[in-house]
Amino acid sequence: MSAEPASASSIGASHSAELRALESESIHIIREVTAEFDRPGLLFSGGKDSIVMLHLAVKAVKPAKLPFPVVHIDTGHNFPEAIEYRDRVVEELGIDLVVGSVQEALDSGRIPPSTDPGGSRNRLQTPVLLDVIREQKFGAVFGGARRDEERARAKERVYSFRDEFGQWDPKNQRPEVWNLYNGFINSGQHIRVFPLSNWTELDVWRYIATQKIEIPSIYLAHEREVFERDGLYMAVSPALQPEPHEKVEVMSVRFRTVGDMTSTAAVPSTADTVEAVMAEIESTRTSERGQSRADDRASEAAMEDRKREGYF
Amino acid sequence: MELLRIATAGSVDDGKSTLIGRLLFDSKAIQDDVLSAAESVSRRQSNEYLNLALLTDGLRAEREQGITIDVAYRYFNTAKRKFILADTPGHVQYTRNMVTGASTADVALVIIDARNGVVEQSRRHAVIAALLGIRHIVVCINKMDLIGFDQQRFDAIKDELEGFFNRLDVECAHYVPISALHGDNVVELSDTMPWYTDGPLLQHLEDLEIMGTPLDDSFRLPVQYVIRPLTGEYHDYRGYAGSIRSGSVKVGQQVGILPAGKTSRVTAIESPDGEVDEAEWPAAVTIRIEDDFDISRGDLICAADGVPRVTQEFDATVCWMSERTELRQGAMLRIKHTTRTARAMITGLHSRIDVSTLSVDPGCQSLALNEIGRVTVKTSAPIVYDDYTVNRVTGSFILVDEGTNETVAAGMIGNPRFGDFE
């Protein structure tokens, strides 16, 4: 690791009161679920939000071991760096990992192939996720979604009820007053829990910086083969090849979010430290999902529609 | 940096979403791609101006109908503060969602359409804000451009509201005449209203004293979870995990454990960043004590002096939130209070409060959706509480329907100060 720039400690200090309040709020939520549900699961993709969520969950129960498994819905098109990170963290913490495989579900005919013209398996994650929740009998599933990410997510409760079909009904959500969370469900239903609801993208980065949390290398600037598609820089990978007219170039890039390789775009950048990434995010005029997620561009209500089906 | 939680309140079409869009837009919290998406929808709908509400109304149904159905949370900051803003719906049928947004707020931003003046829904929202213990109210009198920036009209609305707030015993910090559509007096003072010099809205939001801290500073820690690792290294470890809901705690301090009524001494405090000698609101901690008592979820650890009360029957004010059922005397429900879950019976339904006149109807037989009333609740397990006016956490509860699992009421233990206007 390179030496930290002088500004890093002052960034941490000026935000520490608000970060500590967010941290305690998240730990409180995680403890409520741990105490009230027989069997929760924590969605962990190796992305920065789920990394912070897992870090908070470990703090919530320490010095005991995490009493529930982490869950990854593997599209088969993941960044190898994220998978490597996932496996290492799970081993270090000595916790259980449940993997729901989109590839296996496709091979067995459980789900039909993607109809997405770009081959994205984004939407295919939903039926696999719901299968895992049913098989594992999870009553509660932690997700790392934040309200500042997207406007349908801005509507989400901390405890978000899902019916027997895994569906979200945004017009009929349970009132959520004070910090009294209603987790009562009948068999077959579950609650999605979002401990990071009130965190912003920058809060997550500041927390990673102040807590010195390790993140997958793809979040920092590195050289990579990319090509331009619909105004986004996509990484060349076995899952995504350029069309003949799309020119491949080697660029210094980083990823602002980490999802499926077919739908996560790279950001041209030379920021190779967490502090440099924060400085870039603070000055950018483009949103996190707008800059790096092809899947959200499908329509005005792409996220709402996916969430209604049971997406993350 | 300080964190200020704001909830908006107002009637439908008062321009709440437009005002929030304006605040986000002018404080540069809206990114270019989000803005251009809203612009293209606005053009498609042949709006004369950029429809700022499109920046906040997140659901398909909301954009189609042009109304806000549920709370949306927004995040923005200035050099001085970080703001969490709960944009709550104006329609009467969605009042319960307004309660959701307002229950955690430091400030209520009440928006009034200058053409319509104070309407029933404005009064309802002001009452709910007062009931929920929000101690700051900022009133925006919006659409001043549509009444020719008329100072007399502004003064008349202000006078009417001042009288109402006096009866509620809440203090309205500021009245700001604005045009959310044009941005007048939102982030900067506008020369369209030279008679108004009290500063733009955003400046007031930056300068308001933050009241998030509890009024009472007695130590309260409802136990969420008992941590027992049962490993070699931590064989005898028994930690009580919970969030400090008010006050502070020190190693060596005497504490009370309720409802058992025992006392012990704190031997260790674990904060999110490791062991500490002292911790205060709002930290999530794990504490260990000298004695080996039977303590579990739902119990409360508190300062040895200034202890909360313990009861199985109490009076409360409730806001009924169910569309399907009404609240009647004898109703059997589940209660969640701090970390305690128990069964609850409504042993008395005493009165309904008319939120527009503040009059009390003692003859009521039931409470319907969005109605507020006074009840007596009996519980199957002891409740350790403070009055809501003293502590928003140990004084609040929800009621849950045992059949449908829906949250049917938000309750506040004790009676609100304005409840004596009969």
Does residue A279 fall inside a structural domain?
Answer: yes
Could you tell me the end-to-end alpha-carbon distance of chain B, in angstroms, rounded to an integer?
44
User: Hey, is B26 helix, strand or coil?
Assistant: helix
- Name which of A81-90, A139-148, B413-422 the model is least confident about: B413-422
Does residue A248 fall inside a structural domain?
Answer: yes
- Cβ neighbours of A17 in B, within 8 Å: 1-3
Does residue A1 fall inside a structural domain?
Answer: no
Residue of B nearest to A21 (CA): B282
| Nearest by Cα to A121 from A107, A133, A139 | A107
Does residue A156 fall inside a structural domain?
Answer: yes
Same domain? For A53 and A105 the reply is yes
Q: In this complex, do B228 and A65 lie within 8 Å of one another by their Cβ atoms? A: no
Same domain? For A18 and A127 the reply is yes
**How many Å lie between the alpha carbon of B408 and the closest alpha carbon of chain A?**
8
Per-residue pLDDT tens digits for B221-240: 999 999 999 888 888 899 99
Same domain? For A17 and A141 the reply is yes
Same domain? For A70 and A106 the reply is yes
Given CA atoms B198, B200, B201, B203 in this order, what sign does their dihedral have?
Answer: negative
Q: In this complex, do B59 and A18 lie within 8 Å of one another by their Cβ atoms? A: no
**How many Å lie between the alpha carbon of A154 and the closest alpha carbon of chain B?**
5
User: What phi and psi, each to the nearest 5 degrees, are found at residue A287?
Assistant: -75, 160
Residue of B nearest to A34 (CA): B225
Same domain? For A125 and A56 the reply is yes
Helices (H) and strands (E) in chain A, counts: 9, 10
Does residue A208 fall inside a structural domain?
Answer: no
- Higher-pLDDT residue of B353, B211: B353
Same domain? For A92 and A170 the reply is yes
The domains of chain B, with CATH numbers, are 2-207 (3.40.50.300), 220-303 (2.40.30.10), 309-420 (2.40.30.10)
Same domain? For A96 and A79 the reply is yes
Same domain? For A281 and A133 the reply is no
Same domain? For A195 and A225 the reply is no
Does residue A209 fall inside a structural domain?
Answer: no
CATH (domain of A51): 3.40.50.620
- Cβ neighbours of B297 in A, within 8 Å: 35
Predicted confidence (pLDDT) at residue A4 exceeds the cutoff of 70: no
**Would you say A84 and A91 are in contact if contact means Cβ atoms under 8 Å apart?**
no
Identity of residue B301: I
Same domain? For A190 and A221 the reply is no
- Cβ neighbours of A154 in B, within 8 Å: 56, 58, 72-74
Does residue A227 fall inside a structural domain?
Answer: yes
Does residue A111 fall inside a structural domain?
Answer: yes
ipTM rounded to 2 decimals: 0.91
The pLDDT of residue A299 is 61
pTM summary value:
0.92
Same domain? For A39 and A180 the reply is yes
| Nearest by Cα to A310 from A99, A126, A142, A163 | A126
H/E run at residue A84: helix A80-93
Same domain? For A144 and A160 the reply is yes
Per-residue pLDDT tens digits for B121-172: 888 888 888 888 887 889 999 999 999 999 999 999 999 998 888 888 777 6
Number of domains in chain A: 2
Residue of B nearest to A305 (CA): B60
User: What phi and psi, each to the nearest 5 degrees, are found at residue A274?
Assistant: -60, -40
Per-residue pLDDT tens digits for B307-355: 899 999 999 999 999 999 999 999 999 999 999 999 999 999 999 988 7
Nearest by CB: B59 against A170, A182, A291: A170
Predicted confidence (pLDDT) at residue A5 exceeds the cutoff of 70: no
Range of the domain at A67: 7-202+300-309
